[in-house]
């Protein structure tokens, strides 16, 4: 009897352990490889002042970096979206820093985190728990480097595709410049609806008026929270984009 109970108890323990593990699996912090860190540091430059958030320093590509000029096929990893601080991420991060109440004490997900700037802004604004998610593992390394550059513990970095999976109980999801592709926009739209339905999650989107957002169904359910003029250098790098909005998403579910 005792043996039977013990085996049930241990089976239960194993089952509970596995359930807990699968719950937290995505939150196991990404550990950057030292040689990759070195490679990134050697091939990026620290910038700050030129963006909408001069208080956040970031390692990015600049004209002084080898791969700014090099043939793209020589870059040994996936396309380095993280090497640019996109206008949508800049506006979103500015908004968080100007309105710390938006993040304070909250569990925040920066989805498509790239260089990690919005996750950093969320941490600086008092978020209780920040997860940076990007399917590019190099972005996770850069987010570690950039967090440390700003004197912060890195957020939890997740490199799985979270929009393929069950929504987690985040209070706030941040999307900086994630509406640059129609298929991705539609996938995001239905996943965000699931997040809001399941957890009443708040959603903030930073976007400089890209056609893929302006022409999408989701656009009808966005309320403008802020609009920023882009600094001259950001306009030059972004083919004439002049300003960038922060939207909150309020679907009728």
6 or 165: whose CB is closer to ligand SAM?
165
Query: Could you say which DSSP state residue 150 is in?
Result: T
Which one, 6 or 201, has the nearer CB to ligand SAM? 201
Q: Half-sphere exposure (CA, 13 Å, Cβ side) for 75?
A: 19
Residue 32 interacts with ligand SAM (CB under 6 A): yes or no:
no
Find how far residue 203's CA is from the centre of its chain.
12
CA count, 13 A, side-chain hemisphere, 46: 10
The helix (run of H) or strand (run of E) holding residue 23 is helix 2-24
CB of residue 10 to ligand SAM, shortest distance in Å: 38
Judged by CB under 6 A, the chain residues 36 through 95 that form the site for ligand SAM are 81-82, 85-86, 88-89
Residue nearest to ligand SAM (CB): 89
Q: By C-beta, is 51 or 196 nearer to ligand SAM?
A: 51
Per-residue binding letters, 141-180, with ligand SAM (x by CB under 6 A): --------------------x-x------------xxx-x
Q: Which of 136, 168, 193, 207 binds ligand SAM (CB under 6 A)?
A: 136
Residue 21 CA to residue 131 CA, distance in Å, equals 17
Q: How many whole angstroms separate alpha carbon 32 and alpha carbon 136?
A: 12
Compute the least distance from the CB of residue 160 to ligand SAM, in Å.
9
Smallest gap from residue 27 Cβ to ligand SAM (A): 15
According to DSSP, the β-strands at 156-158 and 129-133 are: parallel
Please give the helix or strand (H or E) that residue 5 lies within, else none.
helix 2-24
Q: In this chain, which of 51, 113, 147, 245 binds ligand SAM, going by CB under 6 A?
A: 113
CB half-sphere exposure, 195, CA atoms < 13 A: 27
Which residues lie near ligand SAM (CB under 6 A)?
81-82, 85-86, 88-89, 111-115, 117-118, 133-136, 139, 161, 163, 176-178, 180, 184
């Amino acid at each position: 009897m005792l043996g039977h109970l013990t085996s049930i108890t241990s089976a239960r323990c194993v089952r509970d352990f596995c359930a807990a593990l699968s719950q937290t699996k995505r939150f196991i912090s990404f550990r950057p490889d030292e040689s990759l860190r070195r490679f990134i540091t050697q091939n990026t430059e620290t910038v700050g002042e030129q963006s909408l958030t001069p208080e956040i320093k970031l390692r990015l590509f600049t004209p002084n970096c080898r791969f700014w000029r090099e043939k793209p096929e020589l870059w040994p990893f996936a396309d380095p979206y993280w090497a640019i601080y996109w206008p949508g991420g800049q506006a979103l991060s500015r908004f968080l820093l100007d309105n710390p109440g938006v993040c304070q004490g909250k569990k925040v997900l920066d989805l498509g985190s790239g260089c990690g700037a919005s996750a950093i802004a969320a941490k600086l604004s008092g978020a209780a728990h920040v997860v940076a998610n990007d399917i590019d593992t190099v972005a996770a390394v850069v987010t570690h480097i950039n967090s440390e550059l700003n004197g912060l513990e890195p957020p939890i970095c997740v490199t799985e595709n979270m929009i393929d999976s069950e929504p987690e109980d985040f209070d706030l999801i941040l999307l900086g410049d994630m509406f640059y592709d129609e298929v991705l926009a539609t996938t995001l739209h239905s996943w965000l609806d699931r997040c809001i339905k399941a957890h009443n999650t708040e959603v903030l989107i930073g976007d400089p008026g890209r056609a893929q957002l302006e022409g999408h169904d989701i656009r009808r359910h966005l309320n403008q929270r802020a609009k920023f003029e882009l600094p001259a250098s950001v306009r030059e790098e972004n083919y004439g984009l002049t300003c960038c909005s922060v939207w909150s998403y309020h679907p009728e579910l």
